[in-house]
Amino acid sequence: DAGITQSPRYKITETGRQVTLMCHQTWSHSYMFWYRQDLGHGLRLIYYSAAADITDKGEVPDGYVVSRSKTENFPLTLESATRSQTSVYFCASSDEWHTQYFGPGTRLTVL
């Protein structure tokens, strides 16, 4: 029972590089979410998706791109990484009752 997985778990990159964080869930949940968590800000929603090929912006979408060609996958791309995007990134999926289940997170450092 894999649930929801994220890869890589740790990533160090340089300013200006493109980075893609992967998220995969095995529950066939319709909704998927990307959050970032920083000290002093708590969890902030970056993007979410209600179904394959349907995505929408959250609270802090600038500098990020998402896609969802398959229900089970929801990759997050940083097109040109900046130091301010150093954070812990969590992916989540949700059943119809709004309960969200989180992946283990990706710790991203942008140098």
The amino acid at residue 34 is W
Output 15 or 26, the one with its CB closest to other proteins. 26
Cβ of residue 32: shortest distance to other proteins, in angstroms? 10
Task: Give residues 30-69 in contact with other proteins (rule: CB under 8 A).
Answer: 31, 33, 35, 40-43, 45, 48, 50, 58
Are the C-beta atoms of residues 108 and 91 closer than 8 Å to each other?
A: no
Provide the β-strand partners of residue 5.
24
Token output for 39 = 């000290």
Cβ of residue 10: shortest distance to other proteins, in angstroms? 11
Burial track 33-52 (b if 16+ CB lie within 10 A, e otherwise): bbbbeeeeeeeebbbbbeeb
Cβ of residue 53: shortest distance to other proteins, in angstroms? 17
Q: Which residues bind other proteins (CB under 8 A)?
A: 31, 33, 35, 40-43, 45, 48, 50, 58, 88, 90, 94, 97-105
